[in-house]
C-alpha cells in the first residue's frame, strides 16, 4: 500500500468531525411512500415472486426469485405499487420496489421466531440490510479466515457522526451485538476502535479499546490495521485478506438490537447538511425518499443545486429527490449551484499537490494521465491504481480541478467488469 516513500513534505491535514457532547435528538421523518432497493437486475424471464398490490409487513424478508440468496427487508407495512429496474452509479443494476405506507403497522414475526436459535447464516440471511450494513457474509467466506473483528466507532468521511453517535448513545446495543457475534462465530478477538477523544467509558464491552487519530483518513480500515497490528494491506487486497473484518459500530448496534429485541431495525439515522452548512440529525425508515427529509427541514432546492449522498470527500451526486436512503446512508449534503466545486478539462500543471496529499503515496499526477486516456490496465500495472484507498484527497487538492477520484472509481469499476466478463468466458 505504501510503495513510494515521500518524506519531509507536509500534507494538508483535514480533521474528522467530533460529535458534540450535547446533541439534539434526531428528528423523525415520516413518509407515505418508500422505495426498497433490491440489489440485482429485474429479470422478467424469471417468475417474480413479488407483485404490484401485494401487502407486506415491517421487517418482512422479500426475495424476488426462487431460489435466491439476495433479499431486501421491508422497512414499513404497506402495499407494493411498482417494481421497476433502476440504474445506479457506474451502471450498477437494482430493482426498485415502490411501497405505499399503510397507516397501521404490522410487524413480521419470522425473524422473531428464528432469532431464538441464532446462527451466523441466519444473521446474514436477515440482517445484511440493517442500518450500517453488517458485512456478515464476509465472516462465512471459507477463503478468508477471519480472526479479528474491528468495530469502528469512527466515521469514514468528514462531517459524518453516525458511528460516533452509535458508540456514544447506543453502547448497550453495541455490547449486545458483540456478545451475539461471539456466540455465532469462532472469532475470539474483538477491537473497538474509537476516536482518541472518545476513549473513556468502554470498560466492559467485551472488546479491546483502541484510539484512532483525528486526522483524515486515519479511520480508514487500512490505516487502523496498520496502527493496531503494524501490518500493511497489500495493494489490491482488503483487510479481510489479512483476517481482519471491519464492522461499523452502527452495524453492530443493529445486530444487538435485532437479537435482543426480536425485531429487525428498519430506521436509519443520518445527517442532513444544508446549503448554509448547518447540520440536522434525522431518523427515517430505510427507503424514505431524500425529498421527504429535505422538505421536513425546509431546505429548498433550486435548479442546478446538487444533492450528495455521503461525505464531502467520498460522496456521490444523486439526481432525483425520489432517490431512497439506504442502510448505509449516513449523510445527505446539499450544495448551492454557486458552491459546487468546479470540474475542469484543464491539463495537469504538475504542481505535485496530489502526490503530497496522497496517503497511499501514489504518483497521482502520472496515474491520472493514464486514467484520462482510458488506459486503465496500464494505470493498474504501472501506477498503483489498486493501492488507492479512495479517500478523495487528490481531487480535493487538485488546483486544475481534475476529477481524479471519479476517474479512479470509474477505472476500478471498468476493470472489475472486464474481469467478471473474462471469468464468464473461461
Which stretches of the chain bind ligand SF4, using CB under 6 A? 348-354, 357-360, 362, 364-365, 368, 388-394, 397-400, 402, 404-405, 408
The minimum distance between CB 371 and ligand SF4, in angstroms, equals 10
All cell numbers assigned to 233: 494491506
Nearer to ligand SF4, 198 or 393 (CB): 393
Distance CA 426, CA 135 (A): 29
Give me the least distance between CB of 383 and ligand SF4, in Å please. 10
Tell whether omega for the bond before 217 is within 30 degrees of 0, i.e. cis. Answer: yes
- For β-strands 78-87 and 93-101, DSSP reports them as antiparallel
State in angstroms the smallest separation of the CB of 406 from ligand SF4.
10
| Measured distance CA(130)–CA(246) in Å, rounded | 16
Let me know: does 331 contact 159? Beta carbons within 8 Å: yes
Give the span between the Cα atoms of 192 and 284, in whole angstroms: 27
In the complex, minimum distance from the CB of residue 360 to ligand SF4, in angstroms, rounded to a whole number: 4
Least separation in angstroms between CB 15 and ligand SF4: 17
- Residue number with CB closer to ligand SF4 (332 or 389): 389
Shortest Å distance, C-beta 414 to ligand SF4: 16
Nearer to ligand SF4, 73 or 354 (CB): 354
Tell me whether residue 66 is exposed, middle or buried, using C-beta atoms within 10 angstroms of its C-beta: 0 to 12, 13 to 18, 19 or more.
exposed
C-alpha cell at 415: 476493470
Of 77 and 365, CB closest to ligand SF4 = 365
Among residues 126 and 246, whose Cβ is nearest to ligand SF4?
A: 246
Give min distance, CB of 94 to ligand SF4, in A: 26
41 beta partners: none
Q: What is the 3-state secondary structure (H, E, C) of 330-393?
A: CEEEEECCCCCCCCCCCCCCCCCHHHHHCCCCCCHHHHHHHHHCCCHHHHHHHCCHHHCCCCCH
Whichever of 165 and 386 has its CB closer to ligand SF4, that residue is 386
The residue (of 166 and 394) whose beta carbon lies closer to ligand SF4 is 394
Place of cell 445527505: 332
Amino acid at each position: 500500500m505504501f510503495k513510494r516513500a515521500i518524506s519531509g513534505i507536509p500534507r494538508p491535514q483535514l480533521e474528522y468531525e467530533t460529535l458534540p457532547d450535547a446533541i439534539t435528538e434526531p428528528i423523525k421523518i415520516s413518509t407515505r411512500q418508500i422505495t426498497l432497493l433490491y440489489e440485482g437486475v429485474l429479470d422478467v424471464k424469471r417468475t417474480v415472486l413479488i407483485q404490484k398490490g401485494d401487502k407486506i409487513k415491517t421487517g418482512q424478508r422479500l426475495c424476488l426469485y426462487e431460489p435466491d440468496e439476495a433479499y431486501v427487508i421491508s422497512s414499513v407495512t404497506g402495499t407494493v405499487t411498482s417494481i421497476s429496474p433502476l440504474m445506479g452509479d457506474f451502471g450498477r443494476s437494482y430493482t426498485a420496489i415502490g411501497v405505499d405506507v399503510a397507516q397501521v403497522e404490522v410487524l413480521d414475526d419470522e425473524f422473531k421466531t428464528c432469532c431464538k436459535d441464532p446462527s451466523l447464516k441466519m444473521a446474514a440471511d436477515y440482517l445484511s440490510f440493517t442500518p450500517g450494513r453488517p458485512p456478515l457474509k464476509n465472516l462465512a467466506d471459507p477463503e478468508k479466515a477471519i480472526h479479528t473483528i474491528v468495530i469502528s466507532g469512527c466515521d469514514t468521511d468528514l462531517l459524518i457522526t453516525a458511528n460516533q453517535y452509535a458508540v456514544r448513545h447506543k453502547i448497550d446495543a453495541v455490547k449486545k451485538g458483540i456478545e451475539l457475534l461471539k456466540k455465532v462465530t469462532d472469532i475470539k478477538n474483538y477491537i473497538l476502535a474509537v476516536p482518541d477523544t472518545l476513549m473513556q467509558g468502554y470498560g466492559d464491552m467485551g472488546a479491546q479499546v483502541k484510539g484512532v487519530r483525528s486526522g483524515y483518513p486515519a479511520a480508514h480500515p487500512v490505516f487502523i490495521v496498520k496502527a493496531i497490528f503494524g501490518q500493511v494491506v497489500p495493494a489490491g487486497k482488503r483487510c479481510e485478506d489479512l483476517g481482519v473484518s471491519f464492522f461499523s459500530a452502527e452495524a453492530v448496534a443493529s445486530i444487538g438490537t435485532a437479537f435482543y429485541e426480536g425485531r429487525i431495525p428498519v430506521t436509519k439515522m443520518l445527517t442532513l447538511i444544508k446549503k448554509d452548512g448547518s447540520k440536522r440529525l434525522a431518523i427515517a425508515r430505510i427507503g424514505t425518499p431524500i425529498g421527504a427529509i429535505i422538505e421536513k427541514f425546509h431546505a429548498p432546492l433550486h435548479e442546478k443545486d446538487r444533492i450528495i449522498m455521503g461525505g464531502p470527500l467520498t460522496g456521490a451526486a444523486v439526481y432525483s429527490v425520489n432517490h431512497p436512503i439506504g442502510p448505509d446512508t449516513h449523510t445527505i449534503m446539499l450544495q448551492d449551484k454557486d458552491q459546487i466545486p468546479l470540474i475542469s478539462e484543464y491539463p495537469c500543471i504538475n504542481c505535485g499537490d496530489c502526490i503530497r496529499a496522497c496517503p497511499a503515496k501514489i504518483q497521482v499526477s502520472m496515474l491520472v494521465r493514464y486514467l484520462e486516456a482510458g488506459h486503465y490496465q496500464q494505470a493498474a500495472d504501472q501506477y498503483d491504481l489498486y493501492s488507492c484507498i479512495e479517500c478523495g484527497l487528490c481531487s480535493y487538492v487538485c488546483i486544475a480541478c481534475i476529477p481524479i477520484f471519479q476517474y479512479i472509481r470509474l477505472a476500478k469499476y471498468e476493470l472489475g467488469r472486464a474481469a467478471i466478463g473474462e471469468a464468464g468466458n473461461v
